[in-house]
Amino acid sequence: MIAANDKKTRDICEMDLAGPVPAQPTKQERAAARAARYRERHGVAPLTVNIDAETLAAFEAYCVAKDRKKSAEVERLLKTQLLRKR
């Protein structure tokens, strides 16, 4: 609080004590950061492949029937079929 005749001291209400407000990340940026933290924490890397639509439909039906996740099934197939010791 300043005196009524004090013209040199700025009023505390006029000062910006907090400073500028940082920009908030968008929904996509938050989702990307969350996915990156998940991948780092679990030691996984994304893999994108293009396959025939009929093959994908059959693979999804197989995963539903066996109650398995697609990523786990692809990883198992890569390890047992492609990357096995010969």
The amino acid at residue 9 is T
Domain boundaries, the chain: 48-86
* pLDDT at 3 exceeding the cut of 90: no
Q: What is the pLDDT of residue 7?
A: 75
Q: What is the pLDDT of residue 1?
A: 61
Phi/psi for 37 (5° steps) reads -65, -40
Note the maximum CA span of the chain: 92
* Token pair in block for residue 76: 């198992």
Mean predicted confidence (pLDDT) in 5-16 = 71
Q: What is the pLDDT of residue 14?
A: 66
Spatial distance between the Cα atoms of 48 and 58, rounded to a whole number of angstroms = 18
pTM: 0.59
Alpha-carbon distances, residue 60 vs 44, 64, 65, 79 (angstroms): 21, 6, 9, 19
Q: What is the pLDDT of residues 21-74, one digit of tens each?
A: 889 999 999 999 999 999 999 999 989 999 999 999 999 999 999 999 999 999
